[in-house]
Amino acid sequence: MNLAIFFTLSLLASISHAIVEDYCVGDLTLPKTLAGYACKDPSKVTVDDFIFTGFRVAGTTTNIYKNHLNLAFANAFPGLNGLGISMARIDLGVGGVVPIHTHRTSEVFLCVKGRIIAGIIDTNNTAYYKTLEVGDVMIFPQALLHFQVNAGDTPALAFVSLNSPNPGLQVIDDSLFAGNLPSELVEKIMLLDPEQVKKLKKALGGSN
């Protein structure tokens, strides 16, 4: 190990259970850490680091869920890095859904256009759901399963905020049917019929 590397090795780290700098704009060219990105050199920070302009236009809703999720998480909006909050723009086509999912942190959901059925399920298996009108907000508590369904005849639009810069969105269908989990295990741990698993693996692109 040469000296330069040794020197470099000695600088890693840090810590704290609370924010100890004003901000820490993430540097996307550097490796991600459990807490997000390393800080960009403060002398190169500009006002544009604190602003995200990616929500100006609607997304296309042509996937199987007829939705488009535009996630302003820390990788897309590095100014959020370390600050405990993020946003997303959600476009739902007619018949569109955000399939049942979960994440590490709580979320507020603001309906901006259309009518949207939104719901949560708690750990007693009780579902709470209702149709939201324009201007309505729903809270989805930390880590609970929840979903949204376009309830109208026109496209719907929502903006959400979550209290983490990288909330860890986990869509149940994608976890089961779009990845590498073997069909045999999916059947056992979900009690699903083999044909149903096969059908959804095909639809969502998972391996067998």
Per the annotation, binding residues for oxalate are 103, 107
Q: Where is the binding site, in residues?
A: 101, 103, 107, 146
Q: Which residues ranging from 98 to 127 are in contact with a second copy (CB under 8 A)?
A: 99-100, 102-108, 110, 112, 117, 119-127
Smallest distance from a second copy to CB 109, Å:
10
* Binds a second copy (CB under 8 A): choice among 62, 85, 154, 208: 85
Determine, following the binding rule CB under 8 A, whether residue 31 of this chain makes contact with a second copy: yes
| Residues 156 and 84: beta-carbon distance below 8 Å | no
Within 8 A by CB and 6+ apart from 204, the residues are 64, 173, 174, 177, 178
| Residues 128 and 149: beta-carbon distance below 8 Å | no
* Binds a second copy (CB under 8 A): choice among 61, 116, 158, 166: 166
The half-sphere exposure of 107 on its side-chain side, counting CA atoms within 13 A, is 28
Q: How far apart are CA 131 and CA 129, in angstroms?
A: 7
Determine, following the binding rule CB under 8 A, whether residue 14 of this chain makes contact with a second copy: yes
Smallest distance from a second copy to CB 183, Å:
12
Q: How far apart are CA 19 and CA 191, in angstroms?
A: 45
Determine, following the binding rule CB under 8 A, whether residue 35 of this chain makes contact with a second copy: yes
